[in-house]
Amino acid sequence: MGPLAGIKVVELAGIGPGPFCATLLADMGAEVLRIDRTEESGLGIASDPKFMLLNRSRRSAAVDLKKPEGVEAVLRLVEQADALIEGFRPGVMERLGLGPEVCLARNPKLVYGRMTGFGQDGPLAHAAGHDLNYIALAGVLHAIGREGAPPTPPLNLVGDFGGGGMFLAFGVLAGLLEADRSGRGQVIDAAMSEGSAYLATSIYGLFAAGLWKDERASNFIDSGAHFYDVYETKDGKYVSIASIEPKFYAELLQRAGLDNEDLPKQSERDKWPEMKERLAEVFKRKTREEWCAIMEGTDVCFAPVLSLGEVVDYPHNKARASFIEIDGVAQPAPAPRFSRTKPEVQRPPAGRGQHTREALGDWGFSTDEIAALEGAGAVQQN
């Protein structure tokens, strides 16, 4: 059983950061019940549920929230829950009759987690957006990219998952700890734009101190420096170098065969472009595998750039069981690790409404009540 065993969470189905937050909580042992729509919502990314990895570790009940019986059923679940998480635009849950005031009236100790792009208030609160827009407003997108090129979208890892789902999970857990002391719940307003900015706190500190330039690829960890970048190898693959500290940089030069050359000092910024060209030329002389044999496991701060198809079989990942396979689908294992209460994937991703009867029964609904809800079209077993 994971460290969150015994915690009960109601999840209002959404996409991206909300489900990721639910996955984090469920992988850690919480009992998370996903409330899906009774009709196909278009929120899926694959026809087979087993590929929708952000739905793993929890059951799904399909509920029609347009019907008062469906809303009442969710409120009965809320009465028993420790937390609720939702990712709708501001006001949607209130219009459904499931807003914070209603839910906290039913369960004063409830932690009510809300996920939006721009927050519950402010000029942009009701505007549509996606990860790229949120990190753009946070100043993060501007800082990512190559010299002379536009900002580079870092997938949707920074806004949706780092600044979004991860921060919502953090907020919910903090709220649960406080509710355990005070006996009172509260609302968690998690805005992806603010979470993304929070991730860049150290960069803002460097910028304020005059140690970070506001131009892309001109700093020590944004591809501006030759000792913190990726380089192509002879076979068209790539390796990553992060030799920031002087002793690590010295080892990089030694293992790259450059330690006997008359080179500029590591700190000479005006020489960084010249040194980058030099290192690029050196790394092109050998294959990625050959460079791994020379640098892997050393203090160079080196790693091969692995593709999604390579990570599962990489020796370190295999030794740590960093990836698991469920129903033939390779996926990241729950993290972090605990010495006593081991987290684990509780079940494969659920199909929409796959567990409606089972889950409602376990949450205290009688067989007759479930049948009545089905008869009214308020819930659906798929």
Express each pLDDT in 327-373 by its tens digit: 999 999 999 999 999 999 999 999 999 999 999 999 999 999 999 99
Tell me the per-residue pLDDT of 294-317, one tens digit each, with 9 for 90 and over: 999 999 999 999 999 999 999 999
Q: How far apart are CA 164 and CA 86, in angstroms?
A: 12
On whether the CB atoms of residues 192 and 120 are closer than 8 A, the answer is no
pLDDT band, residue 228 (cuts 50/70/90): very high
Tell me, what's the pLDDT at 46?
60
Pairing of strands 31-36, 59-63: parallel
On the question of pLDDT at 203 being above 60, the answer is yes
Residues of the chain with CATH 3.30.1540.10: 228-313
pLDDT band, residue 47 (cuts 50/70/90): confident
CATH topology of domain 228-313: formyl-coa transferase, domain 3 (3.30.1540)
Please tell me the pTM assigned to this model. 0.95
Closest CA to 225 of 282, 269, 291: 269
- C-alpha distances in angstroms, 351 versus 14, 28, 158? 14, 21, 28
Closest CA to 169 of 55, 346, 4: 4
pLDDT band, residue 378 (cuts 50/70/90): very high
Sign of CA dihedral 61, 66, 67, 68: positive
On whether the CB atoms of residues 111 and 176 are closer than 8 A, the answer is yes
Report, as an integer, the average pLDDT of 76-89. Answer: 98
pLDDT band, residue 44 (cuts 50/70/90): low
Closest CA to 194 of 153, 132, 138: 138
Tell me, what's the pLDDT at 40?
79
Tell me the per-residue pLDDT of 54-69, one tens digit each, with 9 for 90 and over: 999 999 999 999 999 9
Q: Within 13 Å of residue 100, how many CA atoms lie on the same side as its CB?
A: 17
Tell me, what's the pLDDT at 1?
85
Give the SS3 label for residue 381. coil
Active site residue 130: yes
Q: How far apart are CA 216 and CA 165, in angstroms?
A: 27
Q: Which amino acid is at 144?
A: I
The residue annotated as part of the active site, out of 130, 214, 327, 362, is 130
Query: Which residues pair with residue 36 across a beta bridge?
Result: 62
On whether the CB atoms of residues 331 and 43 are closer than 8 A, the answer is no
Closest CA to 1 of 337, 323, 359, 340: 340
Return all residues near 169 (Cβ < 8 A) that are at least 6 apart: 21, 24, 25
Report, as an integer, the average pLDDT of 365-382. Answer: 97
Active site residue 160: yes
CATH 3.40.50.10540 fits 8-199+324-380, yes or no: yes
Residues of the chain with CATH 3.40.50.10540: 8-199+324-380
The residue annotated as part of the active site, out of 27, 160, 222, 229, is 160
On the question of pLDDT at 217 being above 90, the answer is yes
Tell me the per-residue pLDDT of 233-290, one tens digit each, with 9 for 90 and over: 999 999 999 999 999 999 999 999 999 999 999 999 999 999 999 999 999 999 999 9
Q: How far apart are CA 352 and CA 380, in angstroms?
A: 9
Give the ranges where 259-377 is alpha helix by DSSP (H): 272-283, 288-295, 315-320, 356-362, 367-375
Across all residues in the chain, what is the average pLDDT? 97
Tell me the per-residue pLDDT of 4-34, one tens digit each, with 9 for 90 and over: 999 999 999 999 999 999 999 999 999 999 9
Q: Encoding tokens for residue 233?
A: 């190898």
Q: How far apart are CA 253 and CA 245, in angstroms?
A: 12
Return all residues near 131 (Cβ < 8 A) that are at least 6 apart: 16, 156, 158, 159, 160, 164, 192
Give the ranges where 236-344 is alpha helix by DSSP (H): 246-255, 272-283, 288-295, 315-320
